[in-house]
Amino acid sequence: MKSVEWRGMAITIEQLDNRYREKNATIILGENILLKFVPEKSVFDRNDSLRELISTQNFLLGEGPKNIGQMVNLSNRIKKRLEHHIQSQELAGSFLKKDRSGKPDIGFFERHIKPDLIAGVKKLEDLSQAVDKLEDSFPRRLGRSAPHYFCDNCIAYIGTDIAPSKCTICGSAINIHSAVRNLRYLEPDVFDYLGGKWFEDYIGKIFESNGWKVWKHGSVMGTSGEKHPIDVLAANNKTANVLVAECKISQDSFADKDMLAFKARWHEISAAHGFFIVLGNDERGELQTKRIFARTPGLCFLSGMGGMTDAQIYEQITSEIA
């Protein structure tokens, strides 16, 4: 158990041991505040490449956020392209097996379906090469290369990592050397993380580097006993400030209802300050919640963090606290 003195009020932070049902839960106790924070499992905790990415100083100043968005987009296009390929090969299978007379319609397949399947595999390779090239802009590689097998005869996608001996669509024998295409993309957990959660860790890192105790990706039990999802919870024992933050990548990732939900969580948690932080610019003046935030002491809406140094971001946030 750790106790610190905050401007005359005792704050106790107790890390519960593994005998507790919710591992790594933290109790934060002080004057007018009693919180229990329970973290969620995150790929960040076990991925060295992601941790090094987040630790990069002034990462938002350059092309980093844009390149992350491109990586996510390319990986999503590879996923969608594979799904489309599978749907097309199912159609191909109906012609390879039989036509209306009960015989295989090889001619129709060769003229109208096979060329599209070949072009689809070429597009997959091009997207994979784009991922590989883009990864050079990051401190460490973020994607995964995996063998994907396509039948030489009918171009059907027949599996990843391990190829069957025969094609499940046309029945041809599989030559694993000519059938393989090594595709590079983000694995699902990394894909989800880079879709937005990375910005939460980055904001948390800025607070940590300035002496704050930070908890990320979890839930907080407030005064009513109800659990509330929280992106960032931070406490400063020098200034006696406790804050919560919601972090979004762009204006397309939230609306009025999301800001109102955050306002309700902030009120329930009883933190002194609540920040709704957006990486990109948000110029939607029609959002009523912005006006509500502006006239609510303790609440603040910030956007346009991209292109700023870590020090500038911290200064902008803390200037709202002073």
Q: What is the DSSP letter of 173?
A: B
Give dist(CA 140, CA 132) in Å, integer. Answer: 12
Torsion of CA 23, 24, 25, 31, to 10 degrees: 160
Partnered with residue 36 across adjacent β-strands are: 27, 221
Cβ(138)–Cβ(67) below 8 Å: yes
User: In the structure encoding, which two tokens stand for residue 23, read together?
Assistant: 């591992």
Nearest to residue 163, comparing CAs of 154, 176, 172? 176
Rg (CA), the chain: 26
pTM: 0.86
Mean pLDDT split into 10-residue runs, the chain, 322 residues: 41 50 64 78 93 96 95 97 89 63 69 90 97 94 95 91 87 93 96 96 96 92 82 87 92 88 90 93 75 88 94 94 76
Cβ(186)–Cβ(198) below 8 Å: no
H helices of 136-244, in order, are 176-179, 188-192, 198-208
pLDDT given at position 9 = 42
- Residue 313: helix, strand or coil by DSSP? helix
Q: What proportions of the chain, in percent to the nearest 5, are helix, strand and coil? A: 45, 25, 30
Nearest to residue 15, comparing CAs of 44, 38, 45? 38
| CA angle 270–275–279, rounded 5-degree value | 155
pLDDT in tens, 39-53: 888 999 999 999 999
Cβ(162)–Cβ(180) below 8 Å: no
pLDDT given at position 51 = 96
**Structural domains present in the chain:** 2-56+196-319 (3.40.1350.10), 64-138+144-185 (no CATH)
Distances from the Cα of 320 to the Cα of 198, 313, 314, angstroms: 23, 11, 10
pLDDT in tens, 302-321: 999 999 999 999 999 999 88
